[in-house]
A and B are shown apart, each in its own frame.
Chain A
Amino acid sequence: MARTIAVELASVTKRFGDVTAVDNTSLQLYDGEFFSLLGPSGCGKTTILRMLAGFEYPTSGSITIHGREMGHTPPYKRPVNTVFQSYALFPHMTVEQNVAFGLEMKNAPKAEIKTRVVEALEMVRLGEYGNRRPRQLSGGQQQRVALARALVNQPEVLLLDEPLAALDEKLRKEMQLELKGLQERLGITFLFVTHDQEEALTMSDRIGVMNRGHILQVGNPIEIYERPTSRFVADFIGETNFVSGTVCELHGNIAAINTAAGQTLRGLAQQGVQVGQPVTISIRPEKVFLTPISNGTPPTPPSKHMNAMPVQVERINYIGSDTRIIVRLHDGNTFDVWESNTRSTLDRDEYWQPGEAALLSWPEENALVLTE
């Protein structure tokens, strides 16, 4: 699908002294998409936003917004606006004056400013709060003022740096929906920075996962979760089990791996996996089956396309929607298994008991063979 490119970073590097905050990174954002940058603390997310806003300039590489090279264009001449994590509302101005600020700087006519400010405040459901000072508002309300103050300028791209991080859990969930709804209605490109993976998964059209100044993978939430291309992404997004080994056979996109414990496991291989290569298999805890072994029966896999291994149940943690079972493999490592609590029952005696022997199995396409 040919889509207009709103923002392009081409081989952008940013160094602060010896620290390389962003390392030779390229990225394209499409018009009207909700794109999230996700990564651990210090990986360079804020630095990318600040370079787009114009608060920092790249050490090398180029940034273009709708085809216009930004170079050393100062922030006040860029077609982007920022929602800061600290909100950075002007405390000496009323809510209305805060929202009007950007339009006044563009010397918009007074009457137009007035109507647009009213609209913007209505949009974030703060119509009645125009005459208040920021400090007379709750955290969530301040957040919405910051949003209105940025959006009233109709930026080509809205940059949001962990805007929900300071809110409590419930309010954050509400604001996630509200933000996403706004973005869809306005059709403005959002570049959203977060280190909360659930937030990124629920809100984004696409996600870029970052680590140490690099963007490791870009994809929609399903691709990122179901087909991570690296050990880091598999580990950072959701939870997973890792088993390491060496590739011994390749059949199309299925690779067979010899593990250190002497077992052979199969999994979905990426392009370029070669026989003899050391690899890691990633298996999500909700994508496996745990079946009881009746006394003495030798374990048999349910189908030949299943991987299977005997295990011992070690701990059972009931967490409401799921039960999380930790089992021990024969090589001594532990492995997480999540079972959905699909039956509503109070009787847990029928369920897994610590020390019980079981067969752990999964379809081979549920395991991913990762090379890095």
Chain B
Amino acid sequence: MALLEARGLSVRYGGLFANNSIDLECRAGQLVGLIGPNGAGKTTFIDAITGFTPVSSGEVVFDGVNLNDKAPNVRVALGLSRTFQSLELFEDLTVRDNLLVVAQRPKWHSVVTDVLWPGRDERKYHSQVRWALEMLQIESLAEAMPSDLSHGQRKLISVARSIVAKPQLVLLDEPAAGLDTAESHLLGERLRGLLAQDMSLFLIDHDMGLVLNVCDYIYVLDFGVIIAHGTPSEVRANPTVIAAYLGDSAGEAQAREGAALLSRESGSDAQSEMNQ
């Protein structure tokens, strides 16, 4: 039973099909990856799933609910959460408050209780925040301001923020971009750790290495079209993928080289993206 299902999903920006009739499934308890070069439409796909960009055709079903026409925050309430490629932390709030504001689900009477007795039933949320920080091993950053932290730490905070409300499925937009190999490896481990917590993950990256290592299932996107999907070893061996990335058809041996090459390239891409 698929947790998230995209059926024939298309997103158009003017004349450009950023996503073209994408069919994709995320199963509960799995870590599904989506790879593709810069501009392939990966972020657009997450935007479409989470309601940040209008879908021109096709539909998104999450946990048996059709998400089309649902506002982003409604989708979040259903258990769908995301990070942003550009992090988009709340720069004016401490790390703790960044998480707390997301963990907390307001009720209709929240205003009244807040005015009379602020922080009355926040204990539960505080323990959720502690849990999320522990999952990513960044408890020590709780009182810091995001702007004082390093890029790698900020990435971890954005991941922590996306899991703090204990969603069913987390969509991660390039969480490893700009991290060095060791950091990215560590991140992969922590993500696998999340799976054990009843959470499913959807990971976007153009770092082939990370995706091939940690994912259970992989989709490959190019120019808005899914060109291949399968288990990591299937994808690694897939001639279309190799063709798309290398421009010629080659054997399996080359594919591994290709993957390595690609991850190096994308690393430098991410670097330049950051520099901008």
Genuine A/B complex: no
